[in-house]
Chains A and B, each alone.
Chain A
């Protein structure tokens, strides 16, 4: 298993953003669904080793991120796209991707080829030498994805990766996800259920810091069948039904 989380909790003051999450994930594309404030971003930031958990245990790529050496090794094999991508406006796309390839400790000789491959992978080849400040929101998102995949990560964490992408780009992006999912663990946080249906083999639904549903997209669709749940598509109805069931169980 590339991701093993046991009773993982993160508090901010008195607020429990993540409340005792248990999760295991091997290679494949894993979708993390949930409403705003459900704890998806906090969970992803902990998996990215950016945010330490308040309690619980976590093993990533078979290592303990709490120790310096293993954490460094995890980070070498990690790709992370944060929800809000910070960037240097004066950098070109190629410079931006190269910067993070170097910070990921990639062997310098491999960096130029890896940068070119990552930029081509996200379809930004014709903008590789453009300054980031001249790019559209969707292009910036793709530059962010390029830096995440430049080291061919074994664990790829993407927070709202399709935000700002047009339909054509989203289709291409889902193909990229499926491609990486063949050999890496890809965790995608999103509130767009159609992304999950198209690309994910497994899905977890979070609400109020907890995982309230875990299964395949087909299982989630089954949750919504015959319950009159809100939604235009089967997955949306499954999402609404699973969320409603979890909330009524919590209230009872």
Chain B
């Protein structure tokens, strides 16, 4: 059945001659095809003041249900291992889990429509920023919940947040510069392993990477440097006039 038949119940002659069926059909199609944003997207749209950014946020690959469940399962395993062995596994795992999510938040090969997104008015830099912050926030919440569940001391519960920021910033910078999420994950994981091993070598305790308060400033400085690298890597050079 054609759309004109659908609109007139098969009696095309019944439609008044001054009625534009194309226009009527568009009105119908508009209502039928309209998508109702979910509560998260609506809230994000209000917060960001951009429905486009909100839509881009809820399509983040590393915020899709499967990824979120996988992250939660890894941290739950960390809780079990912490309770079983007494070693702070949650604090050691959380930065790498978050860094993986950040690296897989946006980029070529990760986001199917990346090439098209590059030509959009809502800039890819804003999309990257919003997605990275959302992934970081979710992983920080997961990590805190897991730390609390594992009964870790307060120093350990919050101690990994700053190193996690540095590891995430490293993963984001590496993924942005090389345009490869896998390189971002590898850089983040390698950086974190090096930090742990350095803590072991200097202080004799691998947990020093999380508990040593003297490392807070170096972590933050390193994260800031990585942020600058990401900023530079995502700018479009001038001189194209």
**A interface list, Cβ under 8 A from B:** 48-50, 52-53, 55, 57-59, 64-67, 71-73, 75-76, 78, 80, 82, 84-89, 94-95, 98-100, 102-105, 108, 111-113, 115-117, 119-120, 125, 128-129, 147
Given A52-B240, A88-B113; A94-B121 close (CB under 8 Å): no
Query: What are 19 of the A-B contact pairs (CB < 8 Å)?
Result: A50-B119, A57-B241, A64-B241, A66-B236, A71-B236, A75-B121, A82-B115, A85-B116, A88-B59, A95-B35, A98-B35, A103-B56, A104-B122, A105-B50, A112-B34, A113-B27, A115-B30, A120-B22, A120-B29
- Contact of B16 with A by CB under 8 A: no
Whole-angstrom distance from the CB of B122 to the nearest CB of chain A? 5
A103 CB contacts on chain B under 8 angstroms = 52, 55-56, 117, 120-122
Which residue of chain B has the shortest Cβ distance to A56 in the bound complex?
A: B240
Q: CB distance A115 to B55 under 8 Å?
A: no
Q: Total contacts A to B, CB within 8 angstroms?
A: 118
Complex: A126 Cα to B236 Cα, angstroms = 40
Given A58-B240, A103-B56; A76-B121 close (CB under 8 Å): yes
Within the complex, which residue of A58, A104, A111, A119 is in contact with B29, where a contact is CB–CB below 8 Å?
A: A119
Q: CB distance B238 to A82 under 8 Å?
A: no
Whole-angstrom distance from the CB of A109 to the nearest CB of chain B? 10
Q: CB distance B121 to A112 under 8 Å?
A: no
Q: CB distance A104 to B121 under 8 Å?
A: yes
Q: CB distance B122 to A87 under 8 Å?
A: no
Within the complex, which residue of B22, B55, B118, B237 is in contact with A99, where a contact is CB–CB below 8 Å?
A: B55
Within the complex, which residue of B56, B123, B240 is in contact with A65, where a contact is CB–CB below 8 Å?
A: B240
